[in-house]
Structure 1
Amino acid sequence: MSERGDVTICDGTRPAGDLEGAAETTGLDALFAPRSIALVGASDDAARIGGRPLRYLRASGYQGRVYPVNPRRETVQGEQAWPAIAALPEVPDLALLAVPAAATRQAVEDCVAAGVKAAIIFAAGFAEMGEEGREEQARIVAIARAGGLRLLGPNCLGAADSSIGYYGTFSVMLDDGFLEPGPVAIVSQSGAYGSHVAQLARNRGLGIRHWITTGNECDVDMAEALRWVIDRDGVKVVMAYAEGVRNRALFFEALALARLRGIAVVLLKVGRSEVGAHAVGSHTAALAGSDGVFDAICRQYGVHRARSTAEQIDIAYAIARAGLPRGNRLGIFSMSGGLGIQMADDGDEAGLAVTPMPEAAQAELKALLPYASPVNPIDATAQAMTDLPLMTRYIQVVLEQGGYDVFVAILGTTPALPSYSARLAEALEAAGPGGEGLIRAVTMSAPPEVVRAYEQRGFLVFEDSVALTRALGALVRFTESFALARAARPAPAALPVPITASGTLSERTAKQVLAEAGMPFPDERLATTPEEAAAAADAIGYPVVVKICSPQIAHKTEVGGVIVNLKDAAAVQEAAATVLERARAALPDAVIEGVLVAPMIGGGVEVIAGVSVDATLGPVVMFGLGGVLVEVLKDVTFRAVPFDAAEARRMIAETTAGKVLQGVRGAPPADIAALAETLAALSRFAAANEDRLAGVDINPLKVMQTGEGVVPLDALVLLS
């Protein structure tokens, strides 16, 4: 796969079917689901790093062959030991290297010589320790690549597949018991975090099949591991932890495939990488903080970026136990009006629709409990607790007639009461499961055994209503994102021919290359003298604008290089002479191409579009409100390139600019369709020229009324 990634799979750039099996993941089965294992550095002490993997593999019921390798012992933990990998009766799929950093290079050489497919390096002391460690790590990688050996680590805790009893790790989390197979996968750059989140997920009752930590990522990185687990049957949700992204093309491909297959990725990313191209004079570069770019790309690919471990666990728990809802309609049942209203507020903030019960159903509920509130939230009052069969019937009406996608019962501390716990659960269960695909949840405070009893009856259980509504909101967004991924899309447009221009581009040259890539520009003329400027204005029609044109003058207003609303030839001549004189005085060494004479464009909504090159995520298109305050307002969003017009519309809708473009205070709607096509064309231009591009600004970009298109008034293209 190329670093550039003709397979950077952004929305609408590649037929969905092409994603299946697209990644090059050679050797990963040997790493993450091996049929045989050699433990190099095997220890007789089951508490040591070289002893724990053997103890775990023996106790877990792993069915593959395990060969302890230790030249100084005849047996290890009661099993035959082998002096070297070369002495083994077969070539193992995987070697677990539980040796010190100083002995790792020789162990890797031995693996290559024996034809081993993959190895996990547990030892620390490599790139994370400084230049000497980086150099040694590079030497090890070179040996492995030359011999076709895939490496995980170094400085990692390894990997596991609970469905086959494979535990290629020394993590102490397994001292409390093994992972239960289930629909959850964990991929973490940090071994400590991977163990921590796995333990928390296990405490929550989640089944975890795949568990992978990547450490220093000298070879296999988080993106490749993510791509591998997304291809596994039975995975419904992936909890990922990232400190950075090394292979953006494969990262994007993995996210696109997860979205296509309906696998939820809940990602926790820490740290802020530097902006890739902080080009002087570019608004886009100044606005493209990498964390904001990462957020937007998560939205583009339907990834939920969790802000805390608790949030990550909550969402994984909800998906693993309940799946995804059909839609966002939330029905709330409560015996306290205040708690119901609070949840309604929280649900609305999370993007859930607290829709009222149908009028006929309200009448039926009113007949059952005359003093209750049957609208939604549905407040049955404390009277429902005195007659549980009545409560069952009440909830049954809500489930069968409410048309809800999610039903939540607010139970408080009542389930913790021994006299009510089982009876209340039975009453809720007796109301039935509701329609197909309905998610049922409760909020309550109760002992763990009570929580498990409710979960066994098919209910999600949360103690905090805010955590529940946020998790449900994430589930709804996954539902919507997956539906978009499955929707038919037109074939992706071809990328334009890469530009051949070099050096810093003037506004005129920038507009020419962007126009050739499919972006519309108004009729403008370059004039080298005031007389030529007047003739150009006569041809264009008045009023006009005169602007200095120089590769070295990005912001013309700062040198007095723009004069507007010129209504006759004499005014144009005077203006051209003035801006030429000002520019030469301000920047005597600048190359002055002349002046641009452009039509004076009125009306429309001013927005900004541009391209920034992020060091980690590559070129991204930016869009938001334009004008001189763009860097103050920061109403911007981003997308990885290339993308289509449908994705551009989603991008526009994320911003305040998108609301303004729909028409406010009686203003007519703007031509959002033309704007979307322009943003998509800009994304293709960026993808075609990513190796040479440092940034693009189109500011202001005027969006006219529906049907009248867009008019870019200024353009800046910066080459690296």
Structure 2
Amino acid sequence: MDFSSLDPVVNPRSIAIIGASDEPVRIGGRPISYMLQRGFQGAIYPVNPKRPTVQGLKSYADVNSLPETPDVAIVAVPSQAALQAVEDLGARGCKGAIVFTAGFAEMDAGGAAAQDVMVASARKHGMRLMGPNCLGLFNSAINFYATFSASFESGWPLPGRIGIASQSGAYGTHLYSIARDREIGTQICITTGNEAEVTLSDVLGWMAQSPDVDVICAYAEGIREGKNFLAALDLARRNRKPIVMMKVGRSALGQAAAQSHTASIAGDDAVTDAVLQEFGVVRARNTEELLDIAYAATKRIYPVRNTLGVVTVSGGAGVLISDVAESIGFEMPEMPQPAQERLRGFVPFCAPRNPVDCTAQAINQTELIGEFATAMVVDGGYTSCLGFFTQVGASKSVAPKLRAQMKAVADQHQDRLWALSIIAPRDMIREYEKDGFLIFEDPTRAVVALHAMGRFGEAFARATPPAPALPQVSLPATTPTEAEGKRILAAAGIPAVPERACADVEAAVAAAREFGFPVVMKILSPDILHKSEIGGVLLDIASEAAVREGFATLLARAAERAPGARIEGVLVAKQIKGAVEMALGLLRDPVFGPVAMVGLGGIFIEVLKDVSFRRCPFGVAEAEAMIRSLKGFPLLDGVRGRRKADVKALAQALANLSTFAVAAGPRLLSVDINPLLVLPEGEGAFAADAVLEIGE
């Protein structure tokens, strides 16, 4: 997908300001003031019928009076006038409009209707529309400031190749301001307002293909359309452009959550999180972490297998760093034994395993720092290297030698990520940064940022898997019974436990006799989706007499607890012992379409929520990766001497569910398979209970 239609909006040669103000601090005056101050080289055309000039520039009465068609225009007039301005700009051939004006869909139904008119007008003329209710954007590389943010009163953007894309105007410029104060260069910031036409996805896609952006910071409150979003994330990954995103808010899956356990488990933004992980987007928990990761990414070193080596003058700091690394899954392999012995030869009481603690002796013998750092990178082979030197890094007596030694080692290994945790004045930090080091006061922040570089590297190196083949699927007109649902799933490659639908008690006795005792009995009704909630499941039925009694019990409970439900009989199934109970699920996300889930099954799934999600369809390899990501995976992998479960059969069933979901189309609203009984290795996996929800 090509996102270049935003080029005239972000890199214009001319701009008109509809509603231009002569006062530099007003909304219609700030963009002009900023561009005049910074020396925008393009043409600036104020439009204000009440003034001959605006801030020293010739003013024009209306869009039709402009001497040329501007590439882009700012609209900063009341809502009714804004509608006319957009129409006039489109008719004139303007390529883009940035609408500051508020009072549209964010207000009420009337505002939403007016916004629809504005969008229709823009699309009719092929004009991109940013906003309305938009704070605008800046591109400091060309001194283009199409924004009324007051943040520039405290300073201007620094040169750099980080782009900020934000759905919130105020928070987007908040990010920029903090980045500027931390001396991190963010030369482009684009905010999207109401996203009536241009969305965050468009901005991410534009940055993903822009030669002026290497690293993308994003702030998102909600993703409303999936196709462009997925295309933008995929383009960024293919172009090795890391995206670090703050995603706030919770996505509601609407009425589906009331019917589907899978949907209720995903009721927060677990689906969006799964999509971000799929494309290697790193999700930041807060502003500080977002900027830390973006700062580290400016080195453009993204290890595929990232390992952390630490050299420190403090054993305590080494423990702190190790704790954080373990908690986020950042590998810290031990130094090779010969290297450890050699380092003990320098300092017998050192701790050379990793972290490599050269102790405070390094203050007396600063040459030790170079020896230990060299051993760490050469012998340890770590891709990310962190030095903890605290205030020693700024000490007049030690810092010059420390800096020289660390620089010498780093210069010989420029393919590694180098970070230092020191406390130093800003001017000294700049010197360390010029030497090629990332500088953090807090070493735990350095660990998180360095770990993110490996996550990017893994995503960039990952080949796009081939699209799996889709089966032929024919869905019934309405939500089926459990028995019919299992038949449909079995045809799609998800086999069920041997079972039989029984309309009367004699058929139930015959089925139990055929399967062998014990058996499971369940009420059979297309209207009772979750049978256990009405007592509609009986286990350990061990005799013909128990079958007869159970049949009557189930019918009585259904009549009492679900009096309006259609009852088609009882389902009798073989009871399987010694299996691991898992759960497979499917929900139809309103943005991303069908999404599959796997997790530990049984009654605790919604309590423990040890689950993994992925957008459909996907193959067996992706399915197995989902399964192995579960905290409870050891239960499948032979923990405490148990036989290993048939993970391959489980992965095949999960992959088959994902292709079935896509082939079935939008009428398939949800699937819940719980439990899916996974037998020992080589013996298969079978659905013991299944609910399919079919829509119109």
Q: TM-score range by the shorter chain?
A: over 0.9
Tell me if 1:298 matches 2:271. no
In structure 2, the residue matched to 1:444 is 422
In structure 1, the residue matched to 2:47 is 69
Residue type matched to 2:328 in 1? A
For residues 162-184 of structure 1, what are the alpha-carbon distances to aligned partners after superposition, in whole Å with 9 as ceiling and x for unaligned?
A: 33333222222233444334331
User: Superposition pairs for residues 602-621 of structure 1, below 5 Å?
Assistant: 602-621=577-596
Residue type matched to 1:123 in 2? T
- In structure 2, the CA distance between the partners of 1:579 and 1:392, relative to structure 1 (3 Å rule), is closer
Tell me if 1:159 matches 2:137. yes
Residue type matched to 1:706 in 2? E
Whole-Å separation in 1 of the counterparts to 2:160 and 2:647: 44
The normalised TM-score by structure 1 is 0.90
Whole-Å separation in 1 of the counterparts to 2:137 and 2:312: 44
Q: Is the 8 A contact 1:85 1:110 kept in 2?
A: yes
Q: Is the 8 A contact 1:242 1:270 kept in 2?
A: yes
Whole-Å separation in 2 of the counterparts to 1:494 and 1:226: 30
Tell me if 1:644 matches 2:619. yes
Aligned match of 1:169 in 142, 147, 151? 147
Tell me if 1:667 matches 2:642. yes
Whole-Å separation in 1 of the counterparts to 2:536 and 2:251: 36
More displaced 10-residue stretch of structure 1: 696-705 or 121-130: 121-130
In structure 2, the residue matched to 1:696 is 671
- In structure 2, the CA distance between the partners of 1:98 and 1:587, relative to structure 1 (3 Å rule), is closer
- In structure 2, the CA distance between the partners of 1:709 and 1:433, relative to structure 1 (3 Å rule), is farther
**Percent of aligned positions that are identical:** 45
User: Superposition pairs for residues 376-415 of structure 1, below 5 Å?
Assistant: 376-415=354-393
- In structure 2, the CA distance between the partners of 1:403 and 1:635, relative to structure 1 (3 Å rule), is same
Give 1:702 shift: 0.7
For residues 495-553 of structure 1, what are the alpha-carbon distances to aligned partners after superposition, in whole Å with 9 as ceiling and x for unaligned?
A: 34454422332102211222233322234322322333344445555554333211122
Tell me if 1:114 matches 2:92. yes
- In structure 2, the CA distance between the partners of 1:712 and 1:104, relative to structure 1 (3 Å rule), is same
User: Superposition pairs for residues 203-218 of structure 1, below 5 Å?
Assistant: 203-218=181-196
Aligned match of 1:34 in 2, 7, 12? 12
User: Superposition pairs for residues 413-562 of structure 1, below 5 Å?
Assistant: 413-483=391-461, 485-486=462-463, 489=465, 491-497=466-472, 499-537=474-512, 540=515, 543-562=518-537
Aligned match of 1:196 in 174, 177, 181? 174
Give 1:438 shift: 0.9
- In structure 2, the CA distance between the partners of 1:598 and 1:393, relative to structure 1 (3 Å rule), is closer
- In structure 2, the CA distance between the partners of 1:690 and 1:714, relative to structure 1 (3 Å rule), is same
Q: Is the 8 A contact 2:518 2:540 kept in 1?
A: yes
Q: Secondary structure at the match of 1:163?
A: coil
Whole-Å separation in 2 of the counterparts to 1:522 and 1:392: 64
Give 1:44 shift: 2.5
Q: Secondary structure at the match of 1:317?
A: helix
In structure 1, the residue matched to 2:352 is 374
Whole-Å separation in 1 of the counterparts to 2:428 and 2:457: 30
In structure 2, the residue matched to 1:634 is 609
Residue type matched to 1:38 in 2? A
User: Superposition pairs for residues 162-311 of structure 1, below 5 Å?
Assistant: 162-233=140-211, 235-280=213-258, 282-311=260-289
Give 1:459 shift: 0.5
More displaced 10-residue stretch of structure 1: 649-658 or 210-219: 649-658
Aligned match of 2:630 in 655, 662, 666? 655
Q: Is the 8 A contact 1:332 1:344 kept in 2?
A: no
In structure 1, the residue matched to 2:31 is 53
Q: Is the 8 A contact 2:394 2:425 kept in 1?
A: yes
Residue type matched to 1:203 in 2? D
In structure 2, the residue matched to 1:43 is 21
Tell me if 1:146 matches 2:121. no
Whole-Å separation in 2 of the counterparts to 1:556 and 1:81: 73
Whole-Å separation in 2 of the counterparts to 1:605 and 1:289: 26
More displaced 10-residue stretch of structure 1: 362-371 or 330-339: 362-371
Residue type matched to 2:305 in 1? G
Q: Is the 8 A contact 2:475 2:664 kept in 1?
A: no
More displaced 10-residue stretch of structure 1: 687-696 or 31-40: 687-696
More displaced 10-residue stretch of structure 1: 49-58 or 556-565: 556-565
Aligned match of 2:657 in 682, 703, 711? 682
Whole-Å separation in 1 of the counterparts to 2:108 and 2:208: 34
Q: Is the 8 A contact 1:495 1:688 kept in 2?
A: yes
For residues 266-287 of structure 1, what are the alpha-carbon distances to aligned partners after superposition, in whole Å with 9 as ceiling and x for unaligned?
A: 1112222323334545322332
Whole-Å separation in 2 of the counterparts to 1:672 and 1:542: 27
User: Superposition pairs for residues 308-319 of structure 1, below 5 Å?
Assistant: 308-319=286-297
More displaced 10-residue stretch of structure 1: 659-668 or 270-279: 270-279
Whole-Å separation in 2 of the counterparts to 1:690 and 1:204: 49
Tell me if 1:358 matches 2:333. no
Whole-Å separation in 1 of the counterparts to 2:214 and 2:9: 21
Whole-Å separation in 2 of the counterparts to 1:557 and 1:342: 47
Q: Secondary structure at the match of 1:124?
A: coil
In structure 1, the residue matched to 2:115 is 137
Residue type matched to 2:607 in 1? V
For residues 365-412 of structure 1, what are the alpha-carbon distances to aligned partners after superposition, in whole Å with 9 as ceiling and x for unaligned?
A: 233334433332222222322333443344333333221111111111
Whole-Å separation in 2 of the counterparts to 1:511 and 1:394: 62
Give 1:651 shift: 1.9
Q: Is the 8 A contact 2:369 2:402 kept in 1?
A: no
Residue type matched to 1:81 in 2? S
- In structure 2, the CA distance between the partners of 1:110 and 1:527, relative to structure 1 (3 Å rule), is same
Q: Secondary structure at the match of 1:208?
A: coil
Tell me if 1:710 matches 2:696. no
In structure 1, the residue matched to 2:318 is 340
More displaced 10-residue stretch of structure 1: 581-590 or 607-616: 581-590
- In structure 2, the CA distance between the partners of 1:326 and 1:689, relative to structure 1 (3 Å rule), is closer
Q: Secondary structure at the match of 2:298?
A: helix
Residue type matched to 2:124 in 1? A
- In structure 2, the CA distance between the partners of 1:513 and 1:383, relative to structure 1 (3 Å rule), is same
Q: Is the 8 A contact 1:277 1:615 kept in 2?
A: no
Q: Is the 8 A contact 1:60 1:178 kept in 2?
A: no
Greater relative contact order (Cα < 8 A, sep 6+): 1
- In structure 2, the CA distance between the partners of 1:575 and 1:392, relative to structure 1 (3 Å rule), is closer
Whole-Å separation in 2 of the counterparts to 1:371 and 1:523: 66
Whole-Å separation in 2 of the counterparts to 1:426 and 1:435: 15
Q: Is the 8 A contact 2:311 2:372 kept in 1?
A: no
RMSD of aligned alpha carbons: 2.5
Q: Secondary structure at the match of 2:676?
A: strand
- In structure 2, the CA distance between the partners of 1:457 and 1:280, relative to structure 1 (3 Å rule), is closer
Q: Is the 8 A contact 2:468 2:617 kept in 1?
A: no
- In structure 2, the CA distance between the partners of 1:382 and 1:581, relative to structure 1 (3 Å rule), is closer
Give 1:318 shift: 0.8
Give 1:620 shift: 2.4
Give 1:581 shift: 4.9
Residue type matched to 2:657 in 1? L
Q: Is the 8 A contact 1:625 1:656 kept in 2?
A: no
Residue type matched to 2:51 in 1? R
In structure 2, the residue matched to 1:719 is 694
